[in-house]
Amino acid sequence: MSMMLNALKSLFKKRDPGFVLRQTRSPARYEREKAIATSGDPEQRLGLARSRRTHQEILYYMAEHDPDPAIRQAVARNLVTPVQASVVMSSDASEDVRLALAERLVLLLPELSCTDYSQLYAIAVQALGALARDEVLKIRTALSSALRDHAYAPPAIAAQLARDVERQVAEPILRFCTALPDEVLLDILKNAPEDWILEAIASRRKVSDPVSAAVIGHGHSESGRTLIANPGAALGIDLLREIVARARYLPEWRESLALRRGLPPEIAKTLADYAQESVQHALAGCSDFNRHTRADIGKAFRRRLLYAIESEADREGRAESPYDRAVRLARSGALNEKIIADALAMHETEFVIAAIACLAGTSLANVKRIFALHAARPIVTLSWQAGLSMRMALQLQKEMGRVPFRELVYPRDGTDYPLSDSELRWESDFLGLATA
CATH number at residue 129: 1.25.10
For residue 288, what pLDDT is reported? 57
Burial environment of residue 39 by CB neighbours within 10 A (0 to 12, 13 to 18, 19 or more):
exposed
The verdict on residue 222 lying in a domain is no
Residues contacting 257, CB < 8 A, separation 6+ = 228, 243, 244, 247, 263, 267, 271, 279
For residue 303, what pLDDT is reported? 57
Burial environment of residue 118 by CB neighbours within 10 A (0 to 12, 13 to 18, 19 or more):
exposed
For residue 293, what pLDDT is reported? 57
Q: In 3-state terms, what secondary structure has residue 267?
A: helix
For residue 433, what pLDDT is reported? 82
Q: What amino acid is encoded at 355 in this protein? A: A
The verdict on residue 355 lying in a domain is yes
User: What residue ranges of the chain have pLDDT lower than 70?
Assistant: 1-23, 115-116, 273-319, 345-346, 434-436
The domain boundary residue, chosen from 158, 174, 190:
174
The verdict on residue 93 lying in a domain is yes
The domain boundary residue, chosen from 114, 148, 174:
174
The verdict on residue 87 lying in a domain is yes
Question: Structurally, how many domains does the chain consist of?
Answer: 2
Alpha carbon of 228 to those of 85, 173, 177, 241, 275: distances in Å? Answer: 47, 21, 20, 12, 16
The verdict on residue 199 lying in a domain is no
Distance CA 389, CA 411 (A): 9
For residue 290, what pLDDT is reported? 59
For residue 262, what pLDDT is reported? 81
The verdict on residue 435 lying in a domain is yes
The verdict on residue 15 lying in a domain is yes
Residue 40: give the domain boundaries: 1-174
For residue 374, what pLDDT is reported? 92
For residue 19, what pLDDT is reported? 47
Is-contact 208 183, C-beta < 8 A?
Answer: no
The domain boundary residue, chosen from 140, 174, 208:
174
Largest CA distance in the chain: 110
The verdict on residue 112 lying in a domain is yes
For residue 276, what pLDDT is reported? 54
For residue 12, what pLDDT is reported? 47
Residues contacting 41, CB < 8 A, separation 6+ = none
Please give the backbone phi and psi of residue 215, each rounded to the nearest 5 degrees, phi first: -65, -50
For residue 24, what pLDDT is reported? 75
